Amino acid sequence: DQQVKQNSPSLSVQEGRISILNCDYTNSMFDYFLWYKKYPAEGPTFLISISSIKDKNEDGRFTVFLNKSAKHLSLHIVPSQPGDSAVYFCAASAETGETSGSRLTFGEGTQLTVNP
Amino acid sequence: KAGVTQTPRYLIKTRGQQVTLSCSPISGHRSVSWYQQTPGQGLQFLFEYFSETQRNKGNFPGRFSGRQFSNSRSEMNVSTLELGDSALYLCASSWISWREKLFFGSGTQLSVL
């Protein structure tokens, strides 16, 4: 049961344009969402996160939007740069309390290619 | 500050063997998590350790086990390897809070022949 889904395995955009990566989730208990970026031969690196009490969080060129009613989040990158070419994973976690530890549920990833 | 270090980077094993992977978290981080990445499957949570105790566990068979030492270093063991265990195994650490962002190592690429 894939609780977090990224339906687009790949996305190609031109440099300077907007990149929009999408993610859907099914578990209504998820209340914290993150995006990670992964380059080949490296581990994922944290990009941006959002709590379910917000519907938008912005950090420089990166903005994450959360639509709780649709159980959908998206990552916008504006403007896109060739160095943004990587695999992007969305991840989600549910409130379980500190004694239960951390556990992220990841999507399958979307390969973003930004063409010069 | 040094990042999360995983050793070895690559491993080739045959079916039926067992393997141990190692992870050294960022200095001061007490939580270590393990994830399996396979093509098209994203990252699947294996388990998380905090202060030498397994605090959370994913849906993997008992052949997958782990432990954490007093210096927060962690090891993951897979016994009786199967072809389907071929994957990138990623370790991640965080300081203490279970809602903090995770810092990942570069992973160990395991190939089972």
**How does pLDDT run across B2-27, given as a tens digit for each residue?**
799 999 999 999 999 999 999 999 99
Say if residues A95 and A31 touch (Cβ distance below 8 Å).
yes
Measured between beta carbons, which residues in chain B are less than 8 angstroms from residue A4? 42
A16: left (phi over 0), alpha (psi -120 to 50) or beta: left
pLDDT recorded at residue A99: 57
CB atoms within 10 A of CB A54: 13
Minimal CA–CA distance to B87: which of B95, B96, B99, B78?
B78
Can you give the pLDDT of all 116 residues of chain A as single tens digits? Answer: 679 999 999 999 999 999 999 999 999 989 899 999 999 889 999 999 999 999 999 999 999 999 999 999 999 999 999 999 999 999 998 866 655 566 889 999 999 999 99
Q: B48 vs A102: CB contact, 8 Å cut-off?
A: yes
Q: B43 vs A4: CB contact, 8 Å cut-off?
A: no
Alpha helices in chain B, H assignment, sequence order: none
